[in-house]
Structure 1
Amino acid sequence: MRRNPVVPYAIIAILGVLTVVIISFVGLNQRADIQVAEEGGSEQTEEGSQEGETTGADAEAVYQANCAACHGGDLSGGMGPALTTVGSSYSADEIAEIIQNGIGSMPAQAHVAGEELSALSEWLSEQQ
C-alpha cells in the first residue's frame, strides 16, 4: 500500500504555522521588555543628571538608537557620511537643525527632540 503524499506536506505546514506563532509571542515579550527598559532608563537619566546637564553616555545611547544604522556605530560612516569630524564643520545648533530637518539624502529625524536633541548635537559637535 502507498502512503498518502499529502500528509508530510500537511505536517510541514502545521509546524511552519506553529513556529510563526511561537516567534510572534517571543517578539511581543521582547517588545514589552524593551518598553520597560526605556521607561526605567528615562527615570534613571532624570535622577542621575542635574537640570540642563546631560551625560555623554546619554548622547551616545541616543546616537546608537537613532543614527548608528546609517552613520556607523563608531561614527565611521556607512550608508551615511562619517561623523568623526563633524564638530569641525558644524556648530551644535547647526547639527541640531540638520537632525531636525534633514540635509541632502538624510531624512528629518523629528522624533529626536528636546533633551535628546540637545545632548546629541552637543556630543556630535565635540567630535573633531
Structure 2
Amino acid sequence: MKHKLLALLLGTSVILGACGGAEEPADEAADSTEGTTTASGDGEEIYQQNCIGCHGRNLEGASGPNLTEVGGKYDQAAIESIIINGQGNMPKGLLNEADAEVVASWLAEKK
C-alpha cells in the first residue's frame, strides 16, 4: 500500500512539475503587456501572437468571429474600441492601447 501511495505522489509531482514549465519570467510577461515585444508595429504579427486562438490563423474565425472583412463593417476607431473595451464574448484588455491601435489599423484594411 505504501509503494502505491509513493508512486502516486511521485507521478503527481512529475506531472505538476511539467505543467509549470511554460511560464514566462515575470519581467518578460510585464514587457509583453507594455508593448515592448512589438516594437516593429506590425499589426499582423501582434494578431498572430495574441488573437489566433479565437479568430483563427487566417482571420477565418473560430470561437470568435470571422475578421476577413471586418474593415467593411467597422472603421479603425470602432475596431480599436472593441479590442480595448471588449464586446460580446471578447474580454477587454487583451492588448494594450498601442498594440490595439496597430492591430485596429491593420484590420481596418480588411474589406
Q: Shorter-normalised TM-score: what interval? A: 0.7 to 0.9
Could you give the per-residue CA deviations for residues 25-63 of structure 1, whole angstroms, max 9, x where no partner exists?
Answer: 634xx5239928x66x93782xxx5xxxx3xxx312321
Say yes or no: does 1:32 pair with 2:25: yes
1:3 corresponds to which residue?
A: none
Paired residue for 2:70?
Answer: 86
2:26 matches 1:42: no
Q: Which residue of 2 aligns with 1:124?
A: 107
Is structure 2 residue 107 aligned with structure 1 residue 107?
Answer: no
Greater RCO, 1 or 2 (C-alpha within 8 Å, sep 6+): 2
What RMSD over aligned residues (CA atoms) do the two structures have, in Å? 2.9
Structure 1 pair 33/86, CA: closer, same or farther in 2 (3 Å)?
A: same
The alignment's TM-score, normalised by the length of structure 2, stands at 0.74
TM-score normalised by the chain length of structure 1: 0.66
Aligned to 1:22: 17
Compare CA radii of gyration and give the structure with the larger one: 1
Residue 13 of structure 2 aligns with an amino acid whose one-letter code is L
What is the CA-CA distance between 1:82 and the residue it aligns to? 0.3
Partner amino acid, structure 2, of 1:81: P
Aligned residue pair count: 108
Identity of aligned residues (%): 31
